[in-house]
Structures are given as structure tokens and as C-alpha cells.
Structure 1
Amino acid sequence: MKKIVYCLFITLAAASHVNAETQMTEAQLGQILFLDPNFSANRTMSCSTCHDPAKAFTDHRENAGNGVASLGDDGHSFGGRNAPMAGYANTSPSFHFDAALKEYVGGQFWDGRANTLADQAMGPPLNPAEMGLPSAQALVERIQENPFYVTTFKRLYGESVFDSSTKHDVLPAFQGFANAIQAFENTKQFATYDSKYDRFLKGEYELTVLEDLGRTLFFSNNNVNCNSCHLLKTEDSKQEPFTNHQYRNIGVPSNAEILRLAGLKAGHIDHGLLENPAVSDPQYDGKFKNPSLRNVAVTAPYMHNGVFKELRTVMEFYDHYNNPERTINPETGLPWELPEVPNTVDKADLEAQALTDRKIDALVAFMKILTDKRFEPLIEK
């Protein structure tokens, strides 16, 4: 909390020195809003609380539900899903159905229910399990408490931005709040493309033998099937997000810990894409958005419910579909649990050659070099 307040103080101090010739941009305003805890009910939580810029835009608080869920502003509520990484979220297109692919693509959140980054930014402030404000009007009133915000909002969005007398689908100042955060999230800070892999593509880094094997396996269609979900472009393309922004059910088991924290009954089913109001076809039950593999080595736990804590466990989980010797979850010492939603598991995408331990080590080594340069110190050796 002290770090957030300090960062906000420094940013506001810098903002106070912006002169008329170099007025603050929408993205700069968004950065200040992103760090400001005043947009939570008890003024303890900002966007950066769950998407810490120093921790690859994820929630690394010690009280974050043992890592699987984020603690809300009220000090006791937890969400029912693992907070996704905000980094590289700006690579996702708007939520839509691709008729050629016969797949839903894009959007924000695990189920794509927010069409854009701006739509996503409107969610947490009003979610009672997150920042907990009672209404959009309450958020606008928090904006109006700060003369700097009032002046900047009027300059960027018009003198009438705080006028609520005319009926709007969304209050103009609330929309401005969301647009500013979207502008910030669209900056290079969220997608630097400066990992060891990116440096390798520029001839600035030499892969180790294990990393090179992992790269070969990742892009191979004859060994594993990683690129069916985690490749948007072609092999070794620049600025690859390592997700196709589509949705899959890979048979992830339920996580009793996150259900307990969120106050959900044992046996509760998260239906993923089917929870999106725009989706009603049961064939999409249990499908979740394929996350970017950028920074995956430093953004544990994994899956929509944080059920796996180690990246190697994730690889062994994938392998257990094809390897009869891979029967035990190494984190529990017990057999793998059954899928949360068994009827729609994308079995074709999970078909692959069985992996040796060395090949799993190689794939993990490759994924580690997808870490942004400034986050490399976070990698556990």
C-alpha cells in the first residue's frame, strides 16, 4: 500500500509541473488513475494492486488468497478466478465471433465479457469483491474530489464531462476514466517485447542448448501442440503475443481453495465462456481465453482458477493426456483430478507426442525466455 501511495505521489507531483505547452496526455492521466487507490470504497486498492507494474502486472500480495485469488478492498472478499496478467492484454482484439474459424476471439477477462480494455476498466471499481464502489456516480464523485482530475477531464473530454443531466448509457466522466486507463494500457509499458527471445530474434542473445530445444519443440507440429493455442503469427515472428486470443477447454480441474475463498459451494462449476452474456451455445461451456505466454514464468499461479502453482506442473498436466506414465500431479502427489467441465474438452488440441522430462525442462526453459527484460530478476533459478 505504501508503494502505491508513493508511486501516486511521484506521478501527481510530476503532473503538477506539466505546463500548457506539454499538457498531459490521456495515457498519462490513465497511469495516474491506474495507481490511485481513491477509486475503491475504502481507498485501499487501485488497479495496480492486482496488476502490479513491478510484478509483471499480476497480484503478488502475500494476502492474495494464497496466490490463487485477490483480496478485495473490504479486507475479506475474494474473487472466484485468478486475476489475469494485464501485460499484453492490449494485443487482444475486441470480442467477436470469427465465422471462418467458428471460434470466439478476443475481449478481456477470462470469459471475454468485456469487449475492450475500456470496458474491462469499468468492471473492478464497481465489483463488490474487488474495489467495491456502489455505482459509477460514486466513482465520478471521487474524480471530482480532486481539482487536478476535474481540470484534466474537462480539457480531455470537454467542459460538459461531469454533466449528468442528459441521459447517457455510461456517465461521460466514467467513460473518460475507462478510456484513460485503456490509453495507458495501450502504451509500450504493457508490451515491451524485449525478452531474451526478442533479443534472440535481433541477434542480441544466444539461446542455450535447452532453450533452443524448447523453441524447436514449441514450434513443431510433430511433437507438441502448443502453437494451436499460443501462436498468432508464424514461427519466430516479431512481436508475437503467444496467444491466438481464442477460447479452449483443456480439462482444467476445479480448485477447492479458490471456491472456499470466494465463498462458493463445493462442486460449483465455472462455465467460462458460457458465463459471457453474448454466448449461449452449450458447446462453448467451460472454455476460457488462451492467455499470453509472455511473462508466464513470473505470473504464477496458472489457469483461470490458479489450480497449478508451478509452470512445470502445467506441462506435466498437458502431457498426462498423451503419456500413460504421467499419472500423478506433482504438487499434490495424487492422481490428476477430473476436468471441471468434462463434456467440451478440446481433445484434438491436446493430442501430442509423449514428453520426456528433458523435453518438459526444455519447454519450461523456452517459456522463461519470454519474460520481459525488467522482470527477469523475478524468475526463480
Structure 2
Amino acid sequence: MHNPLSFSTKFAWLFCMMSLTSQAEPLTQEQIGQLLFFDPTFSNNRGQSCSSCHDPASAFVDTRKTSANGQVSLGDDGHSFGNRNAPTISYAAAIPEFHYDPLLKEYVGGLFWDGRARTLADQAAGPPLNPLEMGMSDKRAIVLRLKENSSYHSLLPPKYQQNLHLEISDSDIEQIYSNMTEAIATFERSAFFSSYDSKYDKFLRGEYELTPLEDLGRSLFFSEKNVNCSTCHSLYPEDDSRETFTNHQYRNIGVPSNRNLIAHNRLAKEYVDQGLLDNPEVKDKRYAGKFRNPTLRNVAITAPYMHNGVFKDLRTVIEFYDHYNNPERQINPETGQAWQPPEYAQTVDLNELKAQPLTERKIEALIAFLHLLTDERYEHLLSEKTP
């Protein structure tokens, strides 16, 4: 049984095909990438596209009811699930290439939670061949499907465009596949993914006035003497218009295991996600259990949270941070029980988790500020109970 396309994915694919292929001019690389992003052809059962797990209608996260209680994504085969939550790819164009910074003594950038894809194009190359995702057998099978649609023929070398029956060499398969993933990456670098039109952006341009609660949240967020959020979730000086609210580095903040997910995926009870250590370029065990700091843009509408989707609510995330410093914050509001121990306790960055205890009003203020980071087109998705 294959995973049926959602209505939004079908509509988006048909709309792209009609609007782009009807134009007289040849398609640009970005337009080809747009078609590819919504096209389910490149999954084994033709039932899943990039947009299935990164739905533009939901700030590029997976909101399908089939997604294991919303924690991880269902594959094209209709029964396989990954072990990590699919993060938003909004503002992913700002993520630098994966590298080790000798001055910071930190790994920086890269895609996926462990940075194993160095670039956007590398990331786009992964899901079609992943048996838990799109499940295609190899790159040749994908290239053969590219040949089925004339909209993609410009990705082929000229000799194949002139003779579609000509067998494609292995070396050309690699180049065509690279052309395809770079086209997807070009689309992902467009303003469609990074609009910078939230209320916070409008505030920076003098087009929106913060409420007292939002202003308090902003002050708290950027303060180094209060909650210390900006240590991991800012790259530029305060109120810089380029900010995507991450320094692109890797941290272990002591996230607990998601026992429900472990049971759902029938993993060993002692299963531990190694995080950055799963990246083939990383050998040092000091980096085990660390995950890339995600962007906070659209964070209010991209639940669940953390690499394993263990938290459902934004307030829970803030209370989780606060529990390290506040003796009155020792109960997980989602379970009514004490916070579970870290999944990988040996490398928790305790020094960076030090902060002043939060009052209820300060929590409400931080939530109000984080709501400000929602792109204009997603504001309708915010809870009616906005602080």
C-alpha cells in the first residue's frame, strides 16, 4: 500500500505544471527546481515529493496525520518512518556549508540535524534514495523518470535531448542527478522559502509597533543576563535584518529520549541518537548527542520540537530550558511528571544553559516574541490564544 498524495501536494503539483509549462520561454533552473520539489514522480510508488514532508502551507514541516503522532514522517512505502523529526526548510538558504571552524572550535552549518549534507544540493540528493523516504533504487532509476517529462530534459546533456532512446552512461547519470539536486537547491534559495516579512521584520522597518509584552520578550531574548537565548539563536548584532535566529552550530541541551517514538519504530529500549557523531566527517565522541541549532523563524507553528519531536508545545520548550535554573520548574507540563534525563548526558552543554529563572510573565513574553517571527502568510496558523 503506497502513501497517497495529500490534496495540497496534488494541487501544488498540478498548479506548477500548468503555470510553468504553459509559458513560451524556457524554464529557468529555479522553475525546474519548483516543479521537482512538488513532483511525486521521484519516489518509488510515485506517492511522495519533497513537499510531502516540507509542506509550504505549513511553514515547510510535515503535518500529515500519518506522521507517527506528528513526530516523524511516513515514507513512500506506507509503513516506514524515520527516527528524527523533519525540520522546517524555511530560511535554509542561510545555512552555511558544513565545516569545522578552528577559531570557534565548533562544527558549523550543513543540512539535516547532524549536518551530514554539506549543502542544500547535497540535502536534496538524499531523500529520493533513502529507503525510509522516497525509496528509489538508484540514481539511474531517477534519471529515467526525469526523461519521462519534457520539462526536465534541459537537465540532460544535449546528446540525450536529441536522442532520448540513447542509453545514459554512468558518468552522465552522476552529472544529471547533480543537475537535478542543484535545481531543487536553487528553488530553495528563493524568496518563496525566505520571505523576511514577519511582524518582527516589519518592526525593524518601522512598519509595526511592538506590544509591551512583545517588547519585553525581545529584550529578554537578546539579553545575556537573563535567558541567554541569543547565545545559540543569533548570528548578527541585535535587530539585524539578516537574522534567522541560529548560529548554525551544534549543541546538546539535554533533550530526553522520545519513548513513544522508540516504541513506535520498534527500536531497542536503550536506543540513543548520536546526533553530530552520525556525520561521517565527525569522529570525536565529544560531539556525540549534539544537534544543529535550528532557525527560530516560524518556530511557533512548526511543532513538534527537538530532533525527536519529543515536545508538542512551544511553552513546554521554554519551561524545559527553565528547569535547569528554576527549582519550581521540575514538572513537564505535557506529561505531568518530572523531566526525563537527557538522551545523551555525557555532552550536555550545561554552561550555556545557565540563565535566570523565568516568571510566568517572562515566559509569556518570550512566547509573544517568538510568535513575532512568523512569516506573514502563516500568521493565520498561530493559536488564537496568543499571549
TM-score where L is the length of structure 2: 0.94
> Is 1:332 matched up with 2:339?
no
Q: Deviations over 1:6-39 (max 9, x none)?
A: 22122112222222xx321101100000000111
Q: 1:139 to 1:75 in 2, by over 3 A?
A: same
The aligned counterpart of 2:289 is: 286
Q: Deviations over 1:121-146 (max 9, x none)?
A: 01111111111111111111111122
Residues 236 and 242, structure 2, Cα contact 8 Å, conserved in 1:
no
Mean CA deviation greater in 342-351 or 170-179? 170-179
The aligned counterpart of 2:169 is: 165
Q: How many residues align?
A: 375
The partner residue of 1:5 within 10, 31, 34 is 10
Residues 84 and 307, structure 2, Cα contact 8 Å, conserved in 1:
yes
Q: After superposition, where does 1:196-275 map in structure 2 within 5 Å?
A: 196-275=199-278
The aligned counterpart of 2:3 is: none
Residue 28 of structure 2 aligns with an amino acid whose one-letter code is T
Q: After superposition, where does 1:127-166 map in structure 2 within 5 Å?
A: 127-150=130-153, 152-154=154-156, 158-159=158-159, 164-165=168-169
Q: CA deviation at 1:261?
A: 2.8
Q: After superposition, where does 1:26-41 map in structure 2 within 5 Å?
A: 26-41=29-44
The aligned counterpart of 1:44 is: 47
Q: Deviations over 1:143-186 (max 9, x none)?
A: 11223322x324xx654588742536x61111111011000000
Residues 250 and 290, structure 2, Cα contact 8 Å, conserved in 1:
yes
Partner of 1:110, secondary structure, is: coil
Rounded to whole Å, the distance in 1 between the matches of 2:200 and 2:131 is: 40
Residues 92 and 245, structure 1, Cα contact 8 Å, conserved in 2:
yes
The aligned counterpart of 1:277 is: 280
> Is 1:362 matched up with 2:362?
no
Residues 113 and 277, structure 1, Cα contact 8 Å, conserved in 2:
yes
Partner of 1:30, secondary structure, is: helix
Residues 71 and 130, structure 1, Cα contact 8 Å, conserved in 2:
yes
> Is 1:97 matched up with 2:100?
yes
Residues 81 and 304, structure 1, Cα contact 8 Å, conserved in 2:
yes
Rounded to whole Å, the distance in 2 between the matches of 1:237 and 1:146 is: 43
Partner of 2:282, secondary structure, is: coil
The partner residue of 1:188 within 169, 188, 191 is 191
Q: Deviations over 1:89-117 (max 9, x none)?
A: 11000000000000000000000000000
Partner of 2:171, secondary structure, is: coil
Residue 298 of structure 2 aligns with an amino acid whose one-letter code is N
Q: Deviations over 1:256-291 (max 9, x none)?
A: 122223331222000100000000101101000000
> Is 1:110 matched up with 2:118?
no
Residues 81 and 258, structure 1, Cα contact 8 Å, conserved in 2:
no
TM-score where L is the length of structure 1: 0.96
Structure 1 gaps, min length 5: none
The aligned counterpart of 2:298 is: 295
The partner residue of 2:21 within 6, 16, 19 is 16
Residue 374 of structure 2 aligns with an amino acid whose one-letter code is T
The partner residue of 2:381 within 362, 378, 381 is 378
Root mean square deviation, CA, Å: 1.4
Rounded to whole Å, the distance in 1 between the matches of 2:210 and 2:160 is: 56
Rounded to whole Å, the distance in 1 between the matches of 2:134 and 2:21 is: 27
Rounded to whole Å, the distance in 2 between the matches of 1:16 and 1:187 is: 19
Residue 191 of structure 2 aligns with an amino acid whose one-letter code is K
The aligned counterpart of 1:323 is: 326
Partner of 1:97, secondary structure, is: strand
Rounded to whole Å, the distance in 1 between the matches of 2:81 and 2:307 is: 14
Rounded to whole Å, the distance in 2 between the matches of 1:15 and 1:48 is: 17
Structure 2 gaps, min length 5: 1-5
Residue 153 of structure 1 aligns with an amino acid whose one-letter code is L
Partner of 1:229, secondary structure, is: helix
Residue 147 of structure 1 aligns with an amino acid whose one-letter code is S
Rounded to whole Å, the distance in 1 between the matches of 2:21 and 2:30 is: 16
Rounded to whole Å, the distance in 2 between the matches of 1:186 and 1:159 is: 30
Residue 221 of structure 1 aligns with an amino acid whose one-letter code is E
Mean CA deviation greater in 135-144 or 267-276? 135-144
Partner of 1:65, secondary structure, is: coil
Residue 7 of structure 2 aligns with an amino acid whose one-letter code is K
Residue 236 of structure 1 aligns with an amino acid whose one-letter code is D
